[in-house]
Amino acid sequence: MSLTLTDAKRTILALLADKPRHGYALASEVGVQGSTMYEHLQQLEGAGYVTSHEDGRRRMYKLTRRGELTVEADQIGDSTG
């Protein structure tokens, strides 16, 4: 699946690089509605950037290796100008 990494999706990946989070925590941090966040997360998971698992009543999201490499590449790109 080809996915355009918008600024919002890149922000989500950067937050998940810090630590795994559930969708509503991410929505609060990014400042979007939960439904919008879950749409982004579903797309990111479908494209292989994140993975999720049930943690009690919440679904926790974390980066896959592809997501980690994308965040690293973004950080290098930001530092070079």
Q: What is the pLDDT of residues 18-52, one digit of tens each?
A: 999 999 999 999 999 999 999 999 999 999 999 99
Q: Model-level pTM? A: 0.90
Spatial separation of the C-alpha atoms in residues 41 and 34, rounded to whole Å = 10
Positive or negative CA dihedral for 13, 9, 40, 65?
Answer: negative
SS3 category, 30: helix
With pLDDT > 70 as the criterion, what percentage of the chain qualifies? 95
Q: What is the CATH number of domain 7-80?
A: 1.10.10.10
Mean pLDDT of the chain: 93
Backbone angles phi, psi at 56, to 5 degrees: 70, -120
- Report the pLDDT value the prediction gives residue 76, as an integer from 0 to 100: 86
